[in-house]
Structure 1
Amino acid sequence: MRGGARRFRVAVACMAALAPACVRAEEGFDTEHIFGFMIGTDIGNVGEREFQTQTTGSFGKGGGTYRALEHEVEIEVVPLPNFRVELGATASLHDITGVPDIDDRRQFNFQGASLDLRYRLLNREQAPFGLTVAAELHGNRIDETSGAKGRMYGTEFTLALDRELVPNFAIAALNLIYQPEWARFEMAGLSEKSSTIGAAFAGLVRVRPNVLLGGEMRYFRQYEGIGLGEFSGQALFVGPTAYVQLSERSRLTLSWSMQAWGRPAGSSAHLDLVNFERHQARLVFGVNF
């Protein structure tokens, strides 16, 4: 754990040193991409187009070896004021050995596709805070946790708020999340429905004109059924986030979270490694074109 945090700090320091000195800080913040596992309320300007890759890693379960990587390629466009559309395709890699209730698996597959729609209700420049609603719809042929084949459909609804605490220096954000999921597995022919609700908070400060550093704290509760039925477990994740403006058109975001506390239903454990992972990491690279 300490080694992972140390490597994260070293990577951020190296990127900050190598980032072009000519990159200027904007007046205020553009929060569209500065957070790791969260979203901001900004959605870009009309006609803007972006290409983005997002790699997410999940590591550690209740026993054995668990590693899962998702690599998503995305195209983002802003066709109308305050409205953004994103199309994505995802490939996944699973390396699972000796994990309770999950079959051993080592595989690389095309996972699925997604559609992300965002609409900004309040602009932070004209209102006390920014407010955006987002809905990400996805359909997968590979389960993101177990790697099992099947048909998986779900939606992530997010209500995002953010506010500049100190102009051009400190920004804070809040996300409220609801995720209904449905899955039918190919091998067993079983169907599962689940839902997750969560709240996430982030804060970032500008340490250089082109570098932001801060952290994110996310709390989740998982239930059986899409209507928040029987309680399954809960977890709290905390960790650092770094954003680097590499050039006028390109950017990089890094985020790492560890499960600081959790508890599966009916257990006195201090971590929920049944429904959630021990560590999560994310690397996002984007470029305007």
Structure 2
Amino acid sequence: MAGASKRFARAARRAAESCLLLALATLPTGARCGTIETEHLFGFTIGSDVGDVGERELEGSVTGRFAKRNGLYGATESTMSAEFVPIANLRTEITGAVVSYDIAGVSGLADQRYAAFGGLSADIRYRLLDRASAPFGLAVGAEPHWGRADEVTGEPGRQYGVDFVAAADWEIVPDRVVAAFNLLYQPETMRSNMTGTWSQESTAGIAFAVMAQVRSGIFVGGEARYLRKYDGLGLDALAGQGFFIGPTIYVKLSEKAWITVAWSAQAAGQATASSAGALDLVNFERRQARVLFGVNF
């Protein structure tokens, strides 16, 4: 197991370094007018755009996570959000979620089959650099959230956490091709309803995406993510790591409506607590899918 873990760590580092080098290689050297709106362009990655002052929007999403090492595993989260841009460069959002689980015969997990109200979150994002006046766009964000179940196991409880992100994007080819790069840190704590005990974990990672406009208002491309799961809020002990990659498509349905569809599969991974296989199917899933949509008003 130690040898396999070391081999995967080296492969994951090479993949992460390749993504970072590609991102740095495509960075523009001079100011460029940003013409592509990146706020909703990606499925799993975040763009730096935050919308215009006074903009109001209703957004929805459905995220599915499927397949563990054995048995039946399906977890779905459906959300509805209200977004408002009160001042220049500041985006605010309130979200409610419904979760469902269909788990049977998965090693290490109790069988679960239910759907319920999942929790609430608030997203605050601030744009530091605008591509219209800078070589690239840059934004930072925080999304505190409260949930009623463990995200992976579906076990009922009280979960609290914050998702922090730093997001950069730039147009490789003006009005045609755009790239984005994210740094992620997500600490969480949970109290189990069954045992009353508290547990802490955190996730750190990077994400990289490239999208190309093939027709007016239609973008296709791909996204890659490298995620590391830790025990403890401060990245204390590595529990596992996974590398995900897959395609994304964005369609602007009208001047006020849009939809994004993304698929992501775990291409490499390793759980520190398991020697079975080359993927981390303890902390992550084999496949993930996401549909996002929204309407401005």
TM over 0.5: yes
1:78-99 CA-to-partner distances (Å, cap 9, x unmatched) read: 0011001000000011000001
Give the counterpart of 2:144 among 137, 147, 157: 137
Q: 1:262 to 1:241 in 2, by over 3 A?
A: same
SS at 1:284 equivalent? strand
2:281 matches 1:260:
no
Structure 2 distance, partners of 1:234, 1:90, is 26
Structure 1 distance, partners of 2:198, 2:68, is 23
SS at 1:280 equivalent? strand
Give the equivalent residue in structure 2 for 1:50.
Answer: 57
Structure 1 distance, partners of 2:58, 2:188, is 27
Give the equivalent residue in structure 1 for 2:130.
Answer: 123
Give the equivalent residue in structure 2 for 1:222.
Answer: 229
1:31 touches 1:40 (CA, 8 Å); kept in 2? yes
Structure 1 distance, partners of 2:171, 2:195, is 50
Give the equivalent residue in structure 2 for 1:16.
Answer: none
- The structural deviation recorded for 1:145 is 1.6
Give the counterpart of 2:175 among 151, 164, 168: 168
Structure 2 distance, partners of 1:67, 1:190, is 25
Give the equivalent residue in structure 2 for 1:272.
Answer: 280
Q: RMSD of the alignment, in Å?
A: 1.2
Give the counterpart of 1:241 among 239, 248, 254: 248
Structure 1 distance, partners of 2:171, 2:178, is 4
2:179 touches 2:210 (CA, 8 Å); kept in 1? yes
Structure 1 distance, partners of 2:253, 2:177, is 20
2:194 matches 1:159:
no
2:43 matches 1:36:
yes
What is the TM-score when the length of structure 2 is the normalising length?
0.87
Identity of aligned residues (%): 50
- The structural deviation recorded for 1:266 is 5.0
SS at 2:235 equivalent? coil
For structure 1, the residue ranges without an aligned partner over 5 or more in a row are 1-26
- The structural deviation recorded for 1:143 is 1.9
Structure 2 distance, partners of 1:231, 1:265, is 7
Give the equivalent residue in structure 2 for 1:281.
Answer: 289
Give the equivalent residue in structure 2 for 1:11.
Answer: none
Paired residue type of 2:44: F
1:92 touches 1:144 (CA, 8 Å); kept in 2? no
SS at 1:146 equivalent? coil
Structure 2 distance, partners of 1:144, 1:235, is 16
1:118 touches 1:135 (CA, 8 Å); kept in 2? yes
For structure 2, the residue ranges without an aligned partner over 5 or more in a row are 1-33
Give the equivalent residue in structure 2 for 1:18.
Answer: none
Structure 1 distance, partners of 2:55, 2:227, is 33
Structure 2 distance, partners of 1:63, 1:141, is 25
1:46-105 CA-to-partner distances (Å, cap 9, x unmatched) read: 000000111000001111000000000000000011001000000011000001111101
1:77 touches 1:86 (CA, 8 Å); kept in 2? yes
- The structural deviation recorded for 1:146 is 1.5
